[in-house]
Structure formats: structure tokens, C-alpha cells
Structure 1
């Protein structure tokens, strides 16, 4: 989404109060006030600010009729004050997340970028949150948006817009009732409570749950649950049962079934 960064420039007195520090500096500086409350004071040398307060809890601007200003940022025992000394310049600029370009927005033809856990349009502000472990697929949805790649027991390619193609629905279609509970034999259902997992819901006296793997299913354990990991190779050494407490003997590698 588009936000505003404010920039101030001129000769200023910069005063920083910390828990055990008082620092006062004066010079011609540029002050950057970012939308997240971060205030950076830069002088003529290098990339390091001469003073800063990151993600401050409050930022206040005082202005006078003759154009002078004082910008005050505070956060948890720290206080940064930047006060202009005479003429100063001020400007506001629209800013967006900066990330890797992943396509073109079908609504406005703006550039779509992936940054900070979402795909965002630089023009119309449309934003599509991504799962933390999602990758970008090489395909495009019929709606014009890019698809993401997510592994939940299998690899799914779905639209980044959850209202267009729903990850939960795709996983349920593939894995709901795919396996039986090793304790009671009832079907394991795909459910979501903050995250996706498998739960025994059809037996009143059983509440077994298993995390839905963020790996591909590579085989079947003797307990009836899937094995995951191993990269799909014939070796069983890197695979594991979905139940971390499974005590079945899996020391002898088994040849995976041939795809039909």
C-alpha cells in the first residue's frame, strides 16, 4: 500500500536523550520520517545516520509561522529532538514496499512486487498476503494475477488472491480423509485453527491431531500415517512419520510405490 515519507532539510540542532546518554549535535542535515515511526538524521558522510530512533512509539511535529520546525520522536526512555535553526525545506513523498517484480496488476496495469510477506501493486495499492514459506510459481491465474507455490503434504500452485483460489480448499480436496487415525481408525480431517493440521473429528473419544507437513508426502508408515521428507528418493533415512512419537520400526528402507 502507498504511504507517505516526510523529509526535512536545513541547519538543525539534534538532541538525543537515552537512558544513560545525552548527545547534542548541530549541522546541515536531512531528516527522514518514515511511515513506521522511524526517524533518521543524515549528514554529509557515509550511510550511517548521525542520530536515529527506530519505530518510535510517537512522533510530533511543531511548526512556527516563519517556517522553522521541531520534530520530536519518543520511545521507551529514548527521546530525539530535531530543531531547525533558520530556513528549512520540507517535502512529502509517496512510498511503497520495494521488492522483486512478479507480474502486472490486472486491475490497473501497475507493477506487482513481492515484499514483506505480500504481493503488492505499486499503483492501485492492492495487496495479497502470502504464507511465510510460499514461493512464486511460473504460472499466471486466469484472473491475471501470479500464482504462488506452497507445500502442504504436496506442492500446490494457487492464485495469490485467496478469494480467487483458496489454499485451504485445495488442501482439503487432496488430503481430507486421506488417512485414518492410528489410535481409533476414524478418518483424519483437514482443519484450520491458525494453521492447517489433521485432526480426528469423527470419533467422540479421540482428539488426535497432527501438523500438516510443509514437506511432500514420500510414503506410508506402518502405523498408517504418511511419511514425509526424503526428497522422494528411495532411501528411507531422511524420511519421518507424521507422528513424531511413532515407534514403528522403520530401520529397513522400503522401496516407494511406482507412480501409476
Structure 2
């Protein structure tokens, strides 16, 4: 698991760049896993010096002292200690919405932008685009279920090895539509990390359509299905001029 390092003491802080300045005081320095460095003093909520997502971060720590240099292009933030009050290191993770507990370890599960993560171990379950995590749990493993819309709404385990999304989509839509170019069945396949409806005559016919996050609500005049998505209705063929 990644960690946040915290340094406290009497320090000289020098920033070289667009807002060049030198300061000294008893400050707290926070070094985050993404190499963001924040220097806080006793006043206000905004740091007195900072560098966001530095290209490089060097920390030197010895008995009774520490030094830090962060660089991003032509900007350099340097912190030199004169008197050290503390320098702990804490495990850290991305904060997310609680979505239950891990059935085996009991640790909290949190939903972040594109995944569900076990808070203590860092075990991560990647979520398909547009997925929502439900309160219900999987009958097989006990992990939370997610609702994923790919032509229809499927309630499946967040662990895709336990309950693969592809299997559900194939069972529902494999061969259901015809290729508009050659008339062969469109097969549900995964290629390049994307779930596609691809022509069964491949490689002679290379027609393939990425399945959008939405449900089928109608038929397009071109013969392909129309999906209801978060951005409105669209044909399976995103370039279709009929829809």
C-alpha cells in the first residue's frame, strides 16, 4: 500500500519558479504518493508552499534532520530542516464511497472512480464503464453485486472472474443482430479490452461495433439496435446517419 510521509520541524523552505520566495518557520511538510508536496504553517488553510505532482522527489533523512527536493520542470521546492519534531509515515489509499465489507477478510470496501478497493489490503476490483454497485451480494462469493448495462441490465459480481460480464452479454445477444455489410451474424467478442459486436465473417469482413453502456430500446432503420444511454438514444453504429 502507498504511504503519506509527514515531516515537522523548524525548516527553511525555498521555492524557485513562478512564485520564487524563501521562508522559515515551524512547519508541517506532507509528501503524497503522487509526489505532491505541501508545506503548512499555523495560519490559513492554504499551504505556504507547494508543488503538485512533481517530476521527481528526493528525500534525505538522517539523525535529527531531513531534507526534501521536489522538481517539476523549472520549478523546484526545497525544504531543509534545522530542528526536527517528527517524521512519521502513514499508509494511505484513495478515499471512496463505502460499499460493504470483504466477505473473507472483513475489511471495508470503497467505491472510487473506476473500481472497488479493499481498504486494508488494496485488493482492487475494476468496474466496467457506467457500472453501479448495489447493496445485494453475490450468492457464490459474498462480494457486492454491480449493475452493468450492455444491451440489457445485468446484476453481476464485482469480481469478474467470479461472474464474467462477457458470458451474460454473449448469452443474451450473440448472433442476435446481422452485419449490415455482409449479412453474417454479429458475435459478441472482446478485442483490445473492448466488448464488441463483431462480424462472424472476420477477417473477410472487419465490421465491428463497440457495445455502449445502455439498454436496447428499439430497432434502427439500418437494421441494428438502438440503445438508450446516459447521453440519449443512439444506434449500435455510432456513425449511423439514420438514427
Cα–Cα, structure 1 residues 203 and 13, in superposed 2: closer, same or farther, change >3 Å?
A: closer
Task: Name 2:208's counterpart in structure 1.
Answer: 209
Task: Name 1:71's counterpart in structure 2.
Answer: 68
Q: 2:129 touches 2:213 (CA, 8 Å); kept in 1? A: no
Match of 1:134 among 131, 134, 140: 131
Alpha-carbon deviation of 1:146? 0.4
Unaligned runs of 5+ in 1: 232-237, 251-260
Correspondence 1:114 to 2:105 = no
Cα–Cα, structure 1 residues 62 and 243, in superposed 2: closer, same or farther, change >3 Å?
A: closer
Task: Name 1:224's counterpart in structure 2.
Answer: 223
Cα–Cα, structure 1 residues 230 and 213, in superposed 2: closer, same or farther, change >3 Å?
A: closer
TM-score, normalisation: structure 1 = 0.85
CA deviations over 1:164-219 (Å, ceiling 9, x no partner): 11112221221111101122110001122221121113265422222212111001
Task: Name 2:197's counterpart in structure 1.
Answer: 198
TM-score, normalisation: structure 2 = 0.90
1:162-177 residue pairs with structure 2 within 5 A? 162-177=160-175
For 1:73 and 1:215, the matched residues in 2 are separated by 45
- The list of structure 1 runs, each at least 4 consecutive aligned residues, that deviate by more than 6 angstroms after superposition, is none
Alpha-carbon deviation of 1:154? 1.2
Q: 1:218 touches 1:229 (CA, 8 Å); kept in 2? A: yes
For 1:176 and 1:198, the matched residues in 2 are separated by 8
CA deviations over 1:9-55 (Å, ceiling 9, x no partner): 1111111112x442111111110111121111111122211111112
Secondary structure of the 2:30 match is strand
Instruction: Please identify which structure carries the higher strand content.
Output: 2
Task: Name 1:124's counterpart in structure 2.
Answer: 121
**Number of aligned positions between the proteins:** 240
Correspondence 1:161 to 2:155 = no
Q: Which has the larger radius of gyration?
A: 1
For 2:114 and 2:56, the matched residues in 1 are separated by 25
1:1-260 residue pairs with structure 2 within 5 A? 2-18=1-17, 20-65=18-63, 67-142=64-139, 143-192=141-190, 193-202=192-201, 205-229=204-228, 239-246=233-240, 248=242
Secondary structure of the 2:214 match is coil
Q: 1:68 touches 1:86 (CA, 8 Å); kept in 2? A: yes
For 1:47 and 1:123, the matched residues in 2 are separated by 29
For 2:55 and 2:129, the matched residues in 1 are separated by 27
For 1:37 and 1:113, the matched residues in 2 are separated by 23
CA deviations over 1:45-81 (Å, ceiling 9, x no partner): 222111111121221122343x011111112222111
Secondary structure of the 1:170 match is helix
